[in-house]
A and B are shown apart, each in its own frame.
Chain A
Amino acid sequence: MTVGELDAGRLRGALAGEGLDLETGPFVTRIRSTLDSVRRGLQTLYADFPAAEGSGFADFHVRVAASGGVRRWFRPQARFFVDGRSIFKPLARHQAFPMLEWGLNWCVAGYAHHYVMFHAAVVAKRGRAALLAAPPGAGKSTLCAALVSRGWRLLSDETALLDPETGLVHGMARPVSLKNESIDAVRAFAPDAFISPPCRDTVKGAVAHMRPPADSVARMREPARPAWLIFPRFEPGAATRLSFRDKGSAFMRLVTQSFNYAALGRTAFERTADLLERSRTYDFVYSRLDDAVETLGRIEPPAR
Chain B
Amino acid sequence: MNRRPADPLSAVLAQPRLLAGLDLAGWDVVVRRARETALLGAVAHLARESVGWDAVPERPRRHLSGARRVARGNALALAWELECLEEPLSRLDAAPVLLKGAAYVAAGLPNAAGRIANDVDLLFPRDRLPRVESLLGWKGWVSSHLDAYDQRYYRRWMHELPPMRHARRGSTLDIHHNIVPETFAVHPDPARLLEQAVPVPGWPAYRVLCPAHMVLHAAAHLFSETEWDLALRDLYDIHCLAGCFAARDGEQFWLHLLEEAEALDLGRLLFYALRHAARRFATPVPDEAAARLRLAGPGPLRLAVLDAAFDGGFRPRAASSTGGRDAVARGVLFLRGHWLKMPPWLLARHLFHKAILARAKDRDGE
Q: Are A56 and B317 in contact (CB-based, < 8 A)?
A: no
Q: Are A264 and B317 in contact (CB-based, < 8 A)?
A: no
Shortest distance between the CB of B305 and any CB in chain A (Å) = 25
In the complex, identify which listed stretch (B57-65, B97-105, B178-186, B283-291) lies at the interface while the others stay far away.
B57-65
Q: Which of A59, A84, A115, A266 contacts B59 (CB 8 A)?
A: A59
Question: A9: CB under 8 A from chain B?
Answer: no
Interface residue tally for chain B (C-beta within 8 Å): 29
Contact digits for A57-85, partner B, Cβ 8 Å, 1 yes 0 no: 11101000000000000000000000111
Q: Are B73 and A114 in contact (CB-based, < 8 A)?
A: no
Interface centre among B23, B25, B28, B317 (most CB of A within 10 A): B28
Interface centre among A55, A61, A111 (most CB of B within 10 A): A111
Q: Which of B60, B72, B317 contacts A85 (CB 8 A)?
A: B317
Q: Which of A84, A111, A266, A267 contacts B63 (CB 8 A)?
A: A111
Cβ contacts under 8 Å, B23 to chain A? 56
Q: Are B318 and A266 in contact (CB-based, < 8 A)?
A: no
A54 (CB) vs chain B CBs: closest residue: B28
Cβ contacts under 8 Å, A260 to chain B? 70
Main secondary structure of the interface of B (DSSP, over half): helix
Q: Are B66 and A112 in contact (CB-based, < 8 A)?
A: yes
Q: How far is the CA of A57 from the CA of B65 in the complex (A)?
A: 16
Q: How far is the CA of A55 from the CA of B319 in the complex (A)?
A: 13
Shortest distance between the CB of A254 and any CB in chain B (Å) = 18
Main secondary structure of the interface of A (DSSP, over half): loop
Cβ contacts under 8 Å, A264 to chain B? 69-70, 73
Q: Are A84 and B320 in contact (CB-based, < 8 A)?
A: yes
Q: Are B65 and A84 in contact (CB-based, < 8 A)?
A: no
Shortest distance between the CB of B57 and any CB in chain A (Å) = 7
Q: Which of B57, B59, B67 contacts A113 (CB 8 A)?
A: B67
Question: B35: CB under 8 A from chain A?
Answer: yes
Q: Which of B36, B67, B73 contacts A265 (CB 8 A)?
A: B73
Given A59-B63, A111-B63, A84-B69 contact (CB < 8 Å) = no
Shortest distance between the CB of B83 and any CB in chain A (Å) = 15
Question: B77: CB under 8 A from chain A?
Answer: yes
Q: How far is the CA of A267 from the CA of B317 in the complex (A)?
A: 31
B27 (CB) vs chain A CBs: closest residue: A57
Contact digits for B310-331, partner A, Cβ 8 Å, 1 yes 0 no: 0000000111100100000000
Question: B24: CB under 8 A from chain A?
Answer: yes
Q: How far is the CA of A201 from the CA of B25 in the complex (A)?
A: 40
**22 A-B pairs with C-beta separation under 8 A:** A26-B62, A28-B59, A56-B23, A57-B31, A57-B60, A83-B32, A83-B35, A83-B317, A84-B317, A84-B323, A114-B62, A114-B65, A114-B66, A115-B66, A260-B70, A262-B73, A265-B69, A265-B73, A265-B74, A265-B76, A266-B73, A267-B69
**Top-8 shortest CB links A-B:** A265-B73, A113-B66, A114-B66, A83-B318, A56-B24, A57-B24, A114-B62, A57-B28
Please name 13 further chain A to chain B contacts, defined as beta carbons within 8 Å, in addition to the given A84-B320, A111-B66, sorted by A numbering: A56-B23, A56-B28, A57-B31, A58-B28, A83-B318, A85-B36, A85-B317, A111-B35, A264-B69, A265-B69, A265-B76, A265-B77, A267-B69
Q: Which residues of B contact A (CB under 8 A)?
A: 23-25, 27-28, 31-32, 35-36, 57, 59-60, 62-63, 65-67, 69-70, 72-74, 76-77, 317-320, 323
